[in-house]
Structure 1
Amino acid sequence: MRVQAFMFYGCAVFFLVTDVVYWLWSKDWTGTTALALSVGLAGLIGFYIHFTIRRLEKANAGPLYEDDPEGEIAQAAGEVGFFSPHSWWPLFVALGAASVSLGFVFGWWLVVFGVAATLMSCVGLVFEYYRGHFQH
């Protein structure tokens, strides 16, 4: 992951050079400010990734498998997570969110209905595979 950190550092340097050239040629404060914010954002993301990599390397007592030149693809294998093979709940979440969006156009009563539908369908999505007292 160290490569990703240096990619963001490179983006920050590119935006910095672009920002200086843009300011010298245009004297436009809005574009200069937007590019300066881009410098800060790219630098912030690069710093965060670099800091996280250093912390993970200390916890693993060595470089990560992405940074190992002799690394194998099998080192990256592992459980990614559980994904529902068939679930209707995302459809209901989307319908509730669409009701909220349409409520801003047609009337506030539809917003209230859409928020209630979205919250109920989010609860259904979260607890779909929950086993215990609230099993459905």
Structure 2
Amino acid sequence: MKAEKWVFGFIFVFFLVVTPIYWFMSGEIAGTFVLGFSALLGGMIATYLGLTARSFDPRPEDRDAEVVEAAGPVGFFAPQSMWPFWCAITVALIFLGPALHQAWITLVGVGFGIWALSGWVLQFYRGDYKH
């Protein structure tokens, strides 16, 4: 967590320095707020990572460790799945409705989305990859 903390700390300091410079050069209020809130977001994440890193042992990346210490199973990754495709079609239908001023297309997309999202969430409860 040490490296991530420093990355977000740098983001905090960078936007903290850039925000007043942007304000004086442009005088625009919206961009100034966006840059200021970006600084706050980077500071919040850096603080969270710094506080969280104290509560558990450091990872091998956070200390001088050998490569072999980080070896082992990383986790479970889903094999090929058709459900992201159907969820993408669903999102396209949901956004197509307002674009064409047709509410029924959005409703069909929402109904289709319930099926597609349920299939994606529950894909490992049946079939070949059942747990």
Q: Same fold (TM over 0.5)?
A: yes
Cα deviation, residue 41, structure 1: 1.0
Q: Report what 1:103 is aligned to.
A: 97
Q: Report what 2:124 is aligned to.
A: 129
Q: Report what 1:89 is aligned to.
A: 83
Q: Report what 2:67 is aligned to.
A: 73
Q: Report what 2:18 is aligned to.
A: 18
> Could you say if the C-alpha distance between residues 80 and 103 of structure 1 is closer, same or farther in structure 2, counting changes exceeding 3 Å?
farther
- 5 Å-filtered alignment, 1:9-48, equals 9-48=9-48
Q: Deviations over 1:30-53 (max 9, x none)?
A: 333222212111101111111121
**What secondary structure is seen at the aligned counterpart in 1 of 2:79?**
coil
Distance in 2, matches of 1:36 and 1:89, equals 39
Please list every run of 5 or more consecutive structure 2 residues that lacks an aligned counterpart in the other structure: none
The CA RMSD over aligned residues, in Å, is 2.1
Size of the alignment, in residue pairs? 126
**What secondary structure is seen at the aligned counterpart in 1 of 2:56?**
helix
Please list every run of 5 or more consecutive structure 1 residues that lacks an aligned counterpart in the other structure: 58-62
Distance in 1, matches of 2:111 and 2:25, equals 53
Which amino acid in the other structure matches residue 49 of structure 1? L
Report percent identity of matched pairs: 37
Could you state the TM-score of these two structures normalised by the residue count of structure 2?
0.80
Which amino acid in the other structure matches residue 106 of structure 2? V
Q: Deviations over 1:105-130 (max 9, x none)?
A: 23111111111111111111222221
